[in-house]
């Protein structure tokens, strides 16, 4: 999407790297709100902060759009019967930008100082000030942690079916996992490759029934139940995996061209934790109905939070709430003078749900 260059024809990032020649570029920029993460949550928040009149900078270490760009098809986002994740992400980003959000892509936030009225956000090329911060850094794919996984990463080991599936047209690939993400990836790949084998360590899938039905009806999908990967082997690329049945304890070697790992996500909360933001025992940022964190002026939204549901719709809703609460925090309008509340932790027994 390359919003940075569109909004910033002088290319501020390059000028900052040439700092001695352009000393004025080293001045700290001050924004009303800085949003960390340009996924569904961060971009929705940006739409609402700019429409409330707050100067808003959105920073993302990648291209704007976030995780949803990896979803082949979205059929459960209200208002769209069917839309690709990439197109939906593009629409949300365009919407926020049209109303004035400034989006800097490929700019990783490396440090935060969240104490005091003015917060500081540091990236490799700049330091910014803001009155309020919204942390919407989402999550990343969990790894299997088996031998060969790191060695063959990018050479047959992948965490994104939409990104890498087309490289394996007509081949045999494995998908590891048993939830919605694994099921969606399996179905997507089954339309591209000759054969998909789904490796699941339990004996039933934990996916929506409609996905399970679709998988059952596909002739080129095989499921190996109670099975775990022990090792990924190959030469220049993946060739075989060693599988172990966790009931019978038998092992087998299976030929494959790729391994797609879809065993869940873990929160991108290291940055927040290092800055004093409270997380729960699973690493998700603790929040309440107002999307507040334990620090005044610091809000959070989307998959990074301890909200039990992880969907685009919930990320969008939380982003909107965070934005309007940030507005209330900064402007203190007459109708919204509630004090900063103490976080109400969500029950430990509630589970998160991925599509």
Ligand X SMILES: Cc1cc2nc3c(=O)[nH]c(=O)nc-3n(C[C@H](O)[C@H](O)[C@H](O)COP(=O)(O)OP(=O)(O)OC[C@H]3O[C@@H](n4cnc5c(N)ncnc54)[C@H](O)[C@@H]3O)c2cc1C
Phi then psi for 23, rounded to 5 degrees?
A: -60, -30
Phi, psi (deg, nearest 5) at residue 242: -100, 125
Q: Measured from the CB atom, is 226 or 353 closer to ligand X?
A: 353
Strands (DSSP E) along the chain, which ranges?
A: 29-36, 56-59, 102-104, 111-113, 119-122, 127-135, 139-141, 157-158, 172-176, 195-199, 221-224, 227-234, 238-245, 251-255, 258-261, 265-267, 298-300
State in angstroms the smallest separation of the CB of 11 from ligand X. 19
Local structure of residue 153 (DSSP, 8 states)? B
Which residue's CB is nearer to ligand X, number 67 or number 227? 67
Q: Which of 8, 164, 214, 280 is catalytic?
A: 164
| Active-site pick, 94, 160, 214, 280 | 160
Q: For residues 214 and 182, is the Cβ–Cβ distance under 8 A?
A: no
Q: Give Cβ neighbours of residue 191 (< 8 Å, ≥ 6 apart).
A: none
163 is catalytic: yes
Least distance CB 21 / ligand X (angstroms): 27
Residue (158 or 234) nearer to ligand X, CB: 158
164 belongs to the catalytic site: yes
Q: How far is the CB of 37 from ligand X (least distance, A)?
A: 3
Residue numbers at the binding site for ligand X (CB under 6 A): 36-42, 59-62, 66-68, 70-71, 74, 76-77, 108-109, 136-139, 181, 184-185, 268, 271, 302-303, 310-313, 315, 355
Tell me how far CA of residue 230 lies from CA of 43, 248, 257, 266, in angstroms. 39, 15, 16, 21
Rounded least distance, CB 298 to ligand X, Å: 15
- The least CB distance from residue 313 to ligand X, in Å, is 6
Q: Which is nearer to ligand X, 156 or 302 (CB)?
A: 302
Task: For tokens 């899938």, name the residue.
Answer: 205
Nearer to ligand X, 256 or 291 (CB): 291
Residue from 163, 214, 235, 303 carrying the catalytic annotation: 163
Q: How far apart are CA 142 and CA 201, in angstroms?
A: 15
Q: List residues with catalytic annotation.
A: 160, 163-164
């Amino acid at each position: 999407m390359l919003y940075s260059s569109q909004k910033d024809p002088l290319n501020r990032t390059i000028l900052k790297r040439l700092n001695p020649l352009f000393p004025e570029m080293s001045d700290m920029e001050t924004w009303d709100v800085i949003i960390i993460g340009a996924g569904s949550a961060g971009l929705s928040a940006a739409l609402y902060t700019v429409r409330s009149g707050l100067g808003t900078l959105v920073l993302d270490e990648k291209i704007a759009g976030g995780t949803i760009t990896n979803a082949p098809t979205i059929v459960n986002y209200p208002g769209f019967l069917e839309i690709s994740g990439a197109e939906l992400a593009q629409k949300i980003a365009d919407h926020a930008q049209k109303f004035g959000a400034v989006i800097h892509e490929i700019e990783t936030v490396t440090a935060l100082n969240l104490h005091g009225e003015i917060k500081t956000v540091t990236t490799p090329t700049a330091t910014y000030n803001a009155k309020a911060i919204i942390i919407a850094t989402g999550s990343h794919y969990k790894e299997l942690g088996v031998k060969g996984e790191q060695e063959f990463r990018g050479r047959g080991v992948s965490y994104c079916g939409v990104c890498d599936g087309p490289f394996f047209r007509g081949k045999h690939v494995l998908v590891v996992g048993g939830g919605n993400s694994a099921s969606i990836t399996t179905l997507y790949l089954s339309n591209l490759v000759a054969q998909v084998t789904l490796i699941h360590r339990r004996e039933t899938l934990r996916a929506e029934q409609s996905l399970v039905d679709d998988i059952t009806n596909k002739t080129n999908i095989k499921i190996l139940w109670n099975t775990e990967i022990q090792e990924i082997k190959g030469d220049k690329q993946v060739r075989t995996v060693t599988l172990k049945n966790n009931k019978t304890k038998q092992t087998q070697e299976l030929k494959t061209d790729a391994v797609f790992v879809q065993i869940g996500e873990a929160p991108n909360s290291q940055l927040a934790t290092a800055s004093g933001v409270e997380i729960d025992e699973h690493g998700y940022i603790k929040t309440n109905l107002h999307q507040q964190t334990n620090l005044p002026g610091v809000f959070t939204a989307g998959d990074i939070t301890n909200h039990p549901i992880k969907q685009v719709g919930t990320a969008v809703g939380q982003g909107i709430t965070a934005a309007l609460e940030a507005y209330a925090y900064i402007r203190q309008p007459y109708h919204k003078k509630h004090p900063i509340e103490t976080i109400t932790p969500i029950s430990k027994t509630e589970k998160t749900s991925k599509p």
